[in-house]
Structure 1
Amino acid sequence: MKGQEWYQADDVAEEYDDKRFSRGGQLIDQREKTAVLDAIMPVEDRNVLEIACGTGRFTVMLAERGADVVGLDISAAMLQQGRRKARNADLEGTLEFLRGDAGRLPFPDDHFDTVIAMRFFHLADDPEAFLREMRRVSSEQIVFDTFNRFSSRSVYNWALPMGSRLYSKSEVSVLLAKADLTLVEVEDDFIVPYGLYRSIPNVLAEPIRAIDETIGALPVTDHLASVSYWNTRVR
Structure 2
Amino acid sequence: MKGQEWYQADTVAEEYEAKRFSRGGRLIDRREKQAVLDAIGPVADKDVLEVACGTGRFTVMLAERGANITGLDISGPMLQQGREKAQATGVDDHVEFMRGDAARLPFPDDHFDTVFAMRFFHLADTPAAFLAEMRRVSKEQVFFDTFNRFSTRSIYNWALPMGSRLYSRWEIDRLLDGAGLELTDANHDWLLPYGFYRKIPNELAASFRSLDTALGGTPLGEKLASVSYWNTHV
Say whether the fold is shared (TM-score over 0.5): yes
Task: Compare 90-99 and 223-232 and name the one that shifted more.
Answer: 90-99
Is 1:110 matched with 2:110? yes
Q: Is the 8 A contact 2:140 2:233 kept in 1?
A: yes
Q: 1:101 is matched by which residue type in structure 2?
A: D
Structure 1 position 92, deviation (Å): 9.0
**Could you say which residue in structure 1 is the equivalent of 2:39?**
39
Gaps of at least 5 residues in structure 2 are: none
Task: Compare 129-138 and 218-227 and name the one that shifted more.
Answer: 218-227
Q: Is the 8 A contact 2:113 2:139 kept in 1?
A: yes
Alpha-carbon distance in 2 for matches of 1:151, 1:182: 25
Partner SS for 1:88: helix
Q: 1:137 is matched by which residue type in structure 2?
A: V
Q: Cα distance 1:57–1:43, how it changes in 2: closer, same or farther (>3 A)?
A: same
The alignment's C-alpha RMSD in Å is 1.0
Partner SS for 1:130: helix
Query: Matched residues, percent identical?
Result: 69
Q: Cα distance 1:7–1:142, how it changes in 2: closer, same or farther (>3 A)?
A: same
Q: Cα distance 1:208–1:129, how it changes in 2: closer, same or farther (>3 A)?
A: same
Figure out how many residues of one structure are paired with residues of the other and give that number.
234
Structure 1 position 142, deviation (Å): 0.3
Is 1:154 matched with 2:143? no
Q: Cα distance 1:93–1:231, how it changes in 2: closer, same or farther (>3 A)?
A: farther
**Could you say which residue in structure 1 is the equivalent of 2:182?**
182
Q: Is the 8 A contact 2:83 2:92 kept in 1?
A: no
Structure 1's consecutive aligned runs of 4 or more residues displaced over 4 angstroms after TM superposition are: none
Partner SS for 2:167: coil
Alpha-carbon distance in 2 for matches of 1:10, 1:201: 27
Alpha-carbon distance in 1 for matches of 2:93, 2:181: 28
Which residues of 2 match residues 62-73 of structure 1 at below 5 A?
A: 62-73=62-73
Q: 2:25 is matched by which residue type in structure 1?
A: G
Alpha-carbon distance in 2 for matches of 1:78, 1:91: 17
**Could you say which residue in structure 2 is the equivalent of 1:221?**
221
Q: Is the 8 A contact 2:86 2:92 kept in 1?
A: no
Gaps of at least 5 residues in structure 1 are: none
- What TM-score, normalized to structure 1? 0.98
